[in-house]
Amino acid sequence: MSLRFFARLSPLGAIALLLATVGIGMTLLKAMRYEVPLLPELTTSVWTVEARIGFRGDGGASKVEFLLPPRVSMQRVIDENFVSRGYGLAILETDGRPRKATWTLRRTPTSEQALYYQVRVLGGSVVTDSSVPPFPPVPDYKEPLASAIQSVLSQARAQSADVFSFTEQTLLILADTDDENVKVIRNVQDRPSWEHLVAEILAGARIPTRIAYGLPLERPLVETQLIPWLEVHNGDDWQGYDTATGEPGYPPGFFIWRYDDADLLRTREVRNVQLSFSTTQTSVPQMEVAELTGAAFAAQPFGIDLTRLPVSVQNLYHVVLMLPLGALVVAFMRVVVGVPTFGTFMPILIALAFRETQLLWGLALFLTLVFVGLSLRLALAQLRLLLVPRLAAILVVVVCLMLAITVLSFRLGVEQGLSIALFPMVILAMTIERMSIVWEERGFGETAKETLGSLLVAVCGYYVMNEPHLDHLMFYFPELLLVVLAATLLLGAYSGYRLTELFRFGALSRGR
């Protein structure tokens, strides 16, 4: 069935199909694989994580050092922001170490001070540092803790096969608070957190562990602290564990700020230091995220990435890439609908001008220019000038008219009148010349018909070229040009009736 369909395709149909398939395929791949949004208004939810460092100075020089999230967590960050009015800020980066922000001030007021650091984080999967740790030494436990731990570990060892299942079993046993050994273990209170104690127990089995401090991005939190989370390494990967239940995994959207007990905050010459974190969820356009991360375009093995070009060139391409669509509109209107126009591509150039002037103003200005230009051209006819000088004269007249309209509208305070300079002057001059000849030879009716046809096509072209969705698609997926090409090829092979012919040949449409 499908084979027969392909066999029946003409070479042109096959080429068009191929082009369209490649174009759409690349577009979809880009959209799915690299998450470039197909629609400009698609949004994604982004978390803003804010660290607030509050303190009081003592009138002298102060210094606050704050550890920023590790490089691996920064992969999820689309941008960061430091809010520190009046403070000197330096960001130190040492090889392999997380960055450190240092705020300094010569005379710190004694009033309440606050420094903020904000990151915008994408929701979604947790990323953690993948460095391979050494095997920890077996800690030196004190009795009765040592025997309790030994018994828990041997029990877990009997019920497990590898590092991860061993960890799970250990955590399950530790969750059973009725167990005598567990009671002994839970009595120990001098560790910073339960996670630290579990890490110490696992070290007894020489299992590498670390504590990741971070924030769950599930619901907005205010004035909270980083929570510790256990991570276990099995020789290949790190795996987070919920020490309360023994479940592998992380809290939803866990954003890791630091590992183990590195100092998060170090201050000098300040008092009453408080550090707290808040999270809040906002929705931002996907496009912004894709542009901010650059990730959407960075890793493309193929295709055209226009976002890396200088901005002025990008702006140019926003326009240039719409031109093929305009040409497609013209081809469609002429071949399928059969609208008469002045010149082939005059309508799209006019439509491009409309993009800048806005439609109604554009129409008004265009008609004014053409009307006055045409009157002057018909007056020039009396002088019997040669063709090319006559065209040049019309061009001068058109420019004079533009100047007049611009100056007049500026005096009147009508901003839109200024944009008239965007009309393609040479095209206008030639249009006026052709109009006057059509007028002289075929009369007013034909001139009006072709003018209205040109304007109709220009307005259609304007609506197509001014469509933000199409602009977005063409700019971020220039591969779609192949689809446009396929469509024009098919239009070129169209041998059916033009819609206007249905009326033209109306006399022949009676049945026999």
Partner 1 sequence: MTEPDKQDLTSRRRNGWLGRWQALRGNGVLGINARNRRYVMRWNVRSKYPLVDDKLTTKRLALEAGLAVPDLYGAVRFQGELIHLDELLAGPDSFVIKPAHGSGGDGVLVVTDRRRGLFIKGDGRALTLRDIEFFVSNILSGVHSLGGIPDVAMIEYRVRPSRLFDAISYRGVPDIRLLIFRGIPVMAMVRLPTRASDGKANLHQGAVGVGIALDTGVTGHGVVRDHVIDEHPDFGTPLAGHAIPDWEALLGIGARCADLTGLGYCGVDLVLDEDRGPMMLEVNARPGLAIQIANQCGLEERLKAVEALIQVPTDVSERIALARALDAEARPSEVGAAPLSGGSGAAAAATSPPQKARRVLLPKVPAKP
CB atoms under 10 Å from CB of 166, counted, come to 20
3-state secondary structure 278-346: EEEEEEEEHHHHHHHHCHHHHCCCCCCCHHHCCHHHHHHHHHHCCHHHHHHHHHHHHHHHCCCCCCCCH
Please state the closest distance from residue 487 (CB atom) to partner 1, in A: 16
Q: At closest approach, how far in Å is the CB of 4 from partner 1?
A: 25
Task: Provide the 10 A C-beta neighbour count for residue 74.
Answer: 16
The nearer residue to partner 1, 10 or 312, going by C-beta atoms, is 10
Contact present, 14 and 76 (Cβ < 8 Å): no
- The reply on whether position 386 binds partner 1 by CB under 8 A is yes
Measured from the Cβ of residue 418, the count of other Cβ atoms closer than 10 Å reads 14
Binding flag, residue 509, partner 1 (CB under 8 A): yes
Query: How far apart, in whole angstroms, are the C-alpha atoms of residue 423 and residue 361?
Result: 12
Rg value, the chain, Cα = 36
Interface with partner 1 in residues 111-150 (CB under 8 A): none
Closest CA to 166 of 198, 127, 133: 198
Among 17, 335, 364, 378, binds partner 1 (CB under 8 A): 335
- Rounded CA separation 365/350 (Å): 11
CB of residue 19 to partner 1, shortest distance in Å: 20
Rule CB under 8 A: which of 278-297 touch partner 1? none
Applying CB under 8 A, the site for partner 1 has a residue count of 28
Which of these ranges, 198-206, 229-237, 450-458, 497-505, lies near partner 1 under the rule CB under 8 A?
A: 497-505
Query: Counting beta carbons within 10 angstroms of the beta carbon of residue 495, is it exposed (0 to 12), middle (13 to 18) or buried (19 or more)?
Result: exposed
Other beta carbons within 10 angstroms of residue 461's beta carbon come to 28
Identity of the residue, 171 or 349, whose beta carbon is nearer to partner 1 in the bound complex: 349
Contact pattern from residue 395 through residue 434 relative to partner 1, giving x for each residue in contact according to CB under 8 A and a dash for the rest: ----------------------------------------
* 3-class state of residue 512 by DSSP: coil
Beta strands at 238-241 and 221-224: parallel, antiparallel or unpaired: unpaired
The answer to whether 201 and 251 have CB atoms below 8 angstroms apart is: no
Among 158, 299, 388, 412, which residue interacts with partner 1 (rule: CB under 8 A)?
A: 388
Task: Please report whether residue 512 would count as binding partner 1 according to CB under 8 A.
Answer: yes
Question: Residue 400 Cβ, how far from partner 1 at the closest point, in Å?
Answer: 23
Nearest CB to partner 1, comparing residues 410 and 497? 497
| Residues between 436 and 475 with contacts to partner 1, criterion CB under 8 A | 437, 441-442
| Residue 497 interacting with partner 1 (CB under 8 A) | yes
- Other beta carbons within 10 angstroms of residue 120's beta carbon come to 19
Q: Which residue has the tokens 């799915």?
A: 32
387 binding partner 1? (CB under 8 A): yes
Measured distance between the N- and C-terminal CA atoms of the chain, rounded to whole angstroms? 37
Which listed range, 72-80, 132-140, 159-167, 490-498, lies at the site for partner 1 (CB under 8 A)? 490-498
Q: Which stretch binds partner 1 (CB under 8 A): 111-119, 285-293, 360-368, 503-511?
A: 503-511
Q: Which of 338, 358, 368, 416 binds partner 1 (CB under 8 A)?
A: 338
Beta bridge partners of 233: 238
- Using the contact rule CB under 8 A, the part of the chain among 96-104, 207-215, 380-388, 396-404 near partner 1 is 380-388
Measured CA to CA, the distance from residue 393 to residue 94 in angstroms comes to 70
Query: How many CB atoms sit inside 10 A of residue 451's CB?
Result: 22
Choices 107-115, 220-228, 368-376, 383-391; region in contact with partner 1 by CB under 8 A = 383-391
Q: Between 310 and 496, whose beta carbon lies closer to partner 1? A: 496
206 touches partner 1 (CB under 8 A): no
- Closer CB to partner 1, residue 93 or residue 501? 501
Q: Is 312 in the site for partner 1 (CB under 8 A)?
A: no
* Site for partner 1 contains 499 (CB under 8 A): yes
**Which parts of this chain interact with partner 1 (CB under 8 A)?**
335, 338, 384, 386-388, 437, 441-442, 493-499, 501-512
